[in-house]
A and B are shown apart, each in its own frame.
Chain A
Amino acid sequence: MDYLDELENFSIYIIREAYANIKNLGMLWSMGKDSTVLLWLARKAFVGHVPFPLIHIDTHFKIPEMIQYRDRLVREMKLNMLVGANEDALAAKTTFPDGAVDRITCCSLLKTQALTATLNGTGRRLRYDHDTNLYEDEPARDPFNAVIVGIRADEEGSRSKERYFSARDQQSEWGIADQPPEFWNQFKTDFAPGTSIRIHPLLDWTELNIWEYIKRENIPTVSLYYNHGDGKRYRSLGCYPCTFPVESPARNVDEIIAELRVGKFANIAERSGRAQDKDDEGGLETLRRQGYM
């Protein structure tokens, strides 16, 4: 086995452990390359099936291609797709693009709070109906006990300290200084009622590994990752007011891999195109303690 095999097989093991141990499980899918690899690994784990809902928190500021790509894969892979949003904040226009709040507050409202409400069932959920091809209101909203999330340790400092199975308390807060031990392949799978759990199968993957795996498995990705002639592409996807393309000639997966290995991005952090990380020092850490992914 090469290192991609090792990463793949261990991630599958983690996903299967989550499914075997935890009821009301979901998987976050942002349509980015990482969570799409995660979705692919779930299909590997369950030999072609995805036996739990995928959850997307729609900030309504996503780049339109991302939504088209989402719905195409939902149909093709027959996915059980749920979408949640902070409708109050969007209606009141308390967002950064509307000029009402700063970037960090906007993230906290449209992502963190929307996620918490979608997961605990207090927020509205839309489910994709494979008969009508429309998103319909989901009447029964059981809280999710756990979500599988595609964060990677190499993204930034606080993510490098995550466990594979991580408990958040009822306020979704993360007690980073007092995390349980993980001996070998035994994860924390026993939880007091009311605990919400994050599962992180991609912790040991790097950005390069993600692209190498996309190539090996031929996984469909959003076209925004590639340069279409203007010398620009997105390296990381988010909301359009806060995510900027990078200068890069890479037109396909091979060229992205070369760029990450030996080219201009070999030593430049992936999230350099994300503005909210820079607003204050440790901004992402503050967000993550409150429940940001």
Chain B
Amino acid sequence: VKKNQSDKKAKMTHEKTRQRVNVVFVGHVDHGKSTVLGRLLVDTNSLPKGKLEQVQERCKRSGKPFEYAYLIDALKDEQSQNITIDSARIFFRSQKRDYIIIDAPGHIEFLKNMVTGASHADTAIMVIDAQAGVEENTRRHGYLLWMLGIRKIIVVINKLDLTGFNRKNFDHVVKDFSGFIKNFGIEALCYIPVSAREGDNVVQHSTNIPWYDGMTILEALDSFVALKHSEDRPLRLPVQDIYKFSAYGDDRRIVAGTLSSGKICVGDELAIYPSGKRTRVKTLEAFNTPALNCVAEGRSIGFTMTEQIYIQRGNIVTRVGDTPPNVSTRLRASIFWLGKEPLKVGNSYSLKLGCTKERVKAEAINLVINTSDLSQQDGKDVIRAREVGDVTLRLAHPIAFDLADNFPMTGRFVLIDDYEICGGGIVLEALQDDATELRDEVYLRNEKWIKGTVTPEQRAETFNQRPALIIITGKKGMGRKRLAALLERQLFEDRKVVYYLGIGTVLYGVNADLKKAPLHDNWQENVRRFGEICELFLDAGMILIVTAVELTQADLSILKTVVDTEKITTIWLGKKVTTDLECDMRLDNGDHLEEDAIMIRASLQKQGIIYSP
């Protein structure tokens, strides 16, 4: 009895360290994926008790010959059509470890289900019919596996019983398929000659195939080594949310997210993109765990910061000193399209990358690839379903992202059209936009910024206000300056720390050197310097009111690169916005500037910049 117990204990300890590998079964329709899988489950004794008999009995009753594939196709409507319509998860354990097997459909109509199935796989089993050879979806699935991030696969050449177990067909398929995958980055770990129906080389070594002495499917699966990244890689933590649950006296402000690369430790200095702002990790937060000092890739975690900088969902957290992500409004990507409507140049979509979501326009289609034969076409302006395109995208606002080759999780995205995910993409290249240079200047300025010991929170507490930039713009003669002065006076009398700064003040002072050339030649530089001055006032904790004539979206975009976007409120004074500016507020009370001021103050209260008296 004692020995039995210690055996059990040994088994339990062994179980604890078990790993799980996700495997997707892919291949052209009718090449026998479900049969291979069914056979694997039967020969490893992995089926629930009575399942095999139940399916055999059902076949007998309906007068159909039994097929291993029926085991997998558990749903009624699948059995009548005899094709796998969706990716089913199957749980399977070998002596060595646990598997989730995803049986992906081979029928072309169900490619989105194949994509879903392969999206979480570590490796794939590609099933190819020895007689039919490499077909359209063999190639398409192979290429998509690569796009989805799979690098090593196991190739099963099936139905050898139908070719008399001869080597010729096998060799032909090996040559054909290896020639195909050579074109991109997929490696076949092995090619296994199999008859799934007869059970050759699935779990048992085949006696029918004496010319093959390699691994069976089960051995090949067990020998696969899942790729593990080093913790020393740069940190990537896409911000999923910011939590402030005030229930039961909890006052933590927690940044939540899952590390997609590297590690994060208490005390680390962080840089958050796209803003490039810096702070430090104060604590790592989790529930029902001992206090944490460091966590690594794959962990879903929360952290608090020593300095409460502005941060929002979709930002990417890295450590200072790590390779930063790219920040731009333009990128080049390879996109696999699945939409009912084709992707068209000039059309707008939503892009989701990491945890960010942004409007995006297809700027150009550089190349279209037919995934079934890799033939390329240029000069096209649409990508149809099941095609892959090399596309240039332009985002409405800058986001932080990586190249898929370096950081897969933050280098992949989906495009959404009319509520539906219509395509998946991998980022190939970060492209420059108008603000690239300015952004780099701002990152450097943030890095070199010399800080005192007074924190923004202390200023906010003492001044009883949060810093804000209020931009009053509109056509000439609408009373912008009078409103700004009035608002300054009112806030001042409310004991707020406030200042009114007109753009003219800067044009003739700090920017005097720029006056030698015509204003429009240096306009961007004028705006940039104006923004830098605003940033100083805001860092000092002040409410700054500025005025400018007919501000454009381009002007605002410069200001937003230089100043924290969340601190800016834009107000258009007058009936109609005469530029392309997307303002936060439009006021049109004619000469009743008092009413305008009341509305602005109400908005400041609503935003929590000042508090109701």
Contacts and interface: CB of A to CB of B under 8 A. Distances in A.
Interface of A: 1-3, 5-6, 8-10, 12-13, 16-17, 19-20, 40, 43-49, 51, 78, 153-154, 156-158, 160-161, 163, 176-177, 179-186, 188-192, 203-204, 206, 217, 258, 261-262, 267-269, 281-282, 285
B89 interface: yes
Given A180-B420, A181-B115, A47 B252 contact: yes
A3 B97 CA distance: 10
Interface of B: 8, 11-12, 15-20, 45-49, 58, 74-77, 85-91, 98, 100, 112-113, 115-116, 119-120, 148-149, 240-241, 243, 245, 247-248, 250, 252, 254, 256, 258, 285-288, 298-300, 302, 313, 338, 350, 352, 355, 409, 412-414, 416, 419-421, 424
Contact of A182 (B119, B149, B416): B119
A2 B421 contact: no
Given A9-B298, A181-B115, A282 B89 contact: no
A183 B286 contact: no
B112 A181 contact: yes
A177 B105 CA distance: 11
7 contacts: A9-B300, A161-B88, A180-B421, A183-B421, A188-B419, A191-B419, A282-B76
Contacts of B116: 163, 179, 181-183
Contacts of B254: 47
Closest 7 CB pairs of A and B: A157-B74, A181-B112, A183-B424, A12-B300, A3-B20, A153-B89, A161-B86
Contacts of B243: 46-47, 49
A43 B289 CA distance: 12
B352 A177 contact: no
A44 B74 contact: no
Contacts of B286: 44, 47
A155 to B, nearest CB: 11
A178 to B, nearest CB: 9
B241 A48 contact: no
**Most chain B beta-carbon contacts within 10 A, residue among A16, A163, A261:** A16
Nearest to A203: B89
A46 to B, nearest CB: 6
Contacts of A2: 16-19
Given A43-B287, A183-B115, A184-B119, A160 B98 contact: no
Contact of B302 (A47, A185, A282): A47
Nearest to B11: A262
Nearest to A268: B49
Given A44-B286, A183-B421, A177 B86 contact: yes
Contact of B91 (A6, A9, A20, A206): A206
A161 B117 CA distance: 10
**Most chain A beta-carbon contacts within 10 A, residue among B18, B338, B414:** B414
A20 B313 contact: yes
Given A51-B245, A158-B74, A183-B424, A20 B285 contact: no
Contacts of B19: 2-3
B300 A16 contact: yes
A17 B115 contact: no
A38 to B, nearest CB: 14
A36 B19 CA distance: 24
Contacts of B299: 1, 5, 9
Contacts of A5: 298-299
Contacts of B77: 177
Nearest to A219: B288
B48 A268 contact: yes
Contacts of A156: 74
B288 A16 contact: no
B100 A204 contact: yes
A156 B596 CA distance: 63
A77 to B, nearest CB: 11
Nearest to A167: B419
A255 to B, nearest CB: 11
Contacts of A181: 112-113, 115-116, 338, 421, 424
Given A183-B119, A186-B414, A261-B12, 18 more contacts: A6-B298, A10-B300, A20-B241, A40-B288, A43-B288, A46-B243, A48-B245, A49-B247, A51-B245, A78-B248, A181-B116, A184-B149, A184-B409, A186-B352, A191-B419, A261-B15, A267-B49, A282-B75
